[in-house]
A = this chain, B = another copy of it.
Amino acid sequence: MSTKTIPEEFLDLFEKRAYGHLATIMPDGHPQVTPVWVDYDGEYILVNTSRGRQKDRNMQRCPQVTLEIQDPDNPYRYLEVRGVVAGATEEAAVAHIDKLAKKYTGAEKYPWLAPGEVRVIYKIKPERVIPH
């Protein structure tokens, strides 16, 4: 059974170091999938990427995206979230990637920021959430 919000009993996935597997659509219609750090603000799933990356370009062009988030403690427990890109912002995006780095690596700051790199937060509105 699908819902339009994250079920309460799956919110723990956003506290754990659970990776999201983000599918976006390439210009030729082929899906692209990459692992991502995920955050949830109670309404949107937040994904942080860099300007110019394939997923950034894909999400600018095609807002239909899907995230599969797998429980690191039980690979057969996962959420599939089909959603739409509801917005993107560069504001506070470096502070946000630092927060995610802390959650996923324990580091105080995101260690891989390159000179000139522009971070961007994508807000993804869940449309269909399928818990497994």
**Count of this chain's copies in the oligomeric assembly:** 2
Contact A35 B70 (CB under 8 A): yes
Interface residue tally on A, bucketed by range:
20 to 34
- Please give me the residue from chain B that is nearest to A22 by CB atom: B33
Residues of B within 8 A of A65 (CB): 31
Q: Of B19, B31, B80, which one neighbours A66 at CB under 8 angstroms?
A: B31
Judge if A14 is at the interface, Cβ distance under 8 Å.
no
A35 to B65, CA, bound (A): 16
Minimum C-beta distance from A31 to chain B (A): 4
A35 to B30, CA, bound (A): 18
Residues of B within 8 A of A68 (CB): 21, 33-35
Contact B35 A78 (CB under 8 A): yes
